[in-house]
Amino acid sequence: MTTVVLKQATILDKSSSFHNQKVDIKIENGTIVAISSKIETKDTDEVVEINGLHVSQGWMDSSVSFGEPGYEDRETIVNGLNVAAKSGFTTVALQPNAAPIIDNQALVKFVLNKASNNAVSLYPIGALTKESEGTDLAELFDMKNARAIAFGDYQKSMSNANLFKIALQYVQDFDGLVIGFSQDSNIKGKGIVNEGIVSTKLGLKGIPTLAEELQIARNLFLLEYTGGKLHIPTISTQKSIELIKEAKAKGLQVTCSVAVHNLVLNDEVLTGFDSRYKVLPPLRDEATRLALIEAVKNGVIDCITSDHNPIDIEHKKLEFDLAKDGTIGLESAFGALQTVLPTEVIVEKLTAAKSIFNVNNPNIEIGNQADLSLFTTNEDWTFTKENILSKSKNSAFLGQNMKGKAIGIMNNGQLIINN
């Protein structure tokens, strides 16, 4: 029998009777058996005693890419889950952008099998269309039965409005969730960064905010027509916020996320033409960044994702316009967010994806399963290459100031600490 005791941990969990209390927490075989001001420990117990330790319900990242199968040189599922654990995440939703694309029951089962018996719970997102090509719907019902939690084509917009409408209608038969990445590829054209003053100065082709907003407006019109549930990932413009706010006011079942890098960085970092900052949607201007932070605080934006996307050096360290979009983000997510948001808001937005994706979220009470994120909130530090745990090193946060640290997780009966 494994016993873990967390000493003098401040609980941040508004749904718990121990919220904001500094206590000892005793966990036996993955279940919380005692919470009190002082718990005696035995020599055989695993004791976690860290200055300034905080504990919350386990965080979920609603968008991670691990590469496997097919791109194991970028990341493997086992190492990716280890990165997630040491970054404070107990649960991740895995994007289907592997090779082959995760668009059928067999591949959903393959990634689940790779992730079995892990401290981190992995939930696959099935591709919405076959091979994520946007022409035919994938085997959605079969993938749902194989335990896919939602359906979307990673960083690809559905240009066929009728197919998107059919998808929204079809998944209602089994209470499915459609993920609609929003960027009109015709309006994006050859754009690679946010269209604005910085893109003009640098001579880089711009992506107008309109490319995102038109697609969101269209998808929300379709949702209003069909009913059902839609999740809009990684929104990045002020008008997108307004459109989603209006849709929620109408009672539509729509949720949305924002990526950590869009909350922390703006397009002024592009002046050195460093391809680590090439992401999709692109980094926007400072006014938009501040508007996104405000939308997180006032609840229009439901959850925050790292949008973790490992890319090998051959595809990332290139001329800016040739480099692939994406940054790793798990390792830096919490420390970076702490520089722009209050801790309680961060915890709320990192756990909120569980209700969106219908994932169990036990609160911190005696008798409940221990699904816990461990972290500190105060120390100031700088994110360097030594802090990268992923196989790929494409982090937009190198050199960024951080505040507080993710310590690890207690989940599925396993304690993982980032030493």
Question: For the segment 164-185, what is each residue's pLDDT rounded down to a tens digit?
Answer: 999 999 999 999 999 999 999 9
Q: How far apart are CA 363 and CA 340, in angstroms?
A: 26
Q: Which residues are catalytic?
A: 307
pTM: 0.96
Is the Cα dihedral 212, 176, 348, 260 positive or negative?
negative
**Residues of the chain above pLDDT 90, percent:** 97
The pLDDT value recorded for residue 355 is: 96
Q: Is the pLDDT of residue 19 over 90?
A: yes
Q: What is the mean pLDDT of residues 247-272?
A: 97
The pLDDT value recorded for residue 145 is: 97
Confidence of residue 1 (pLDDT cuts 50, 70, 90): low
The pLDDT value recorded for residue 324 is: 93
CB 56 within 8 A of CB 372: yes
The pLDDT value recorded for residue 416 is: 96
Structural domains in the chain, sorted by start? 3-54+366-417 (2.30.40.10), 58-356 (3.20.20.140)
CB 405 within 8 A of CB 335: yes
Q: How high is the mean pLDDT of the chain?
A: 96
The pLDDT value recorded for residue 203 is: 94
The pLDDT value recorded for residue 403 is: 97
DSSP secondary structure string for all residues of 322-359: TSPP-BB-TTTHHHHHTTTS-HHHHHHHHHTHHHHTT-
Q: What is the mean pLDDT of residues 260-282?
A: 96
The pLDDT value recorded for residue 318 is: 86
Question: For the segment 46-78, what is each residue's pLDDT rounded down to a tens digit?
Answer: 999 999 999 999 999 999 999 999 999 999 999
If 0-12 CB within 10 Å is exposed, 13-18 middle and 19+ buried, where does residue 348 land? buried
Residue 390 is given by DSSP the state S
Q: First CA to last CA across the chain, in angstroms?
A: 24
The pLDDT value recorded for residue 419 is: 75
Tokens 């809009």 belong to 232
Confidence of residue 2 (pLDDT cuts 50, 70, 90): confident
The pLDDT value recorded for residue 137 is: 97
Q: Kindly state the tokens that stand for 285.
A: 């201007």
Question: For the segment 338-353, what is each residue's pLDDT rounded down to a tens digit?
Answer: 999 999 999 999 999 9
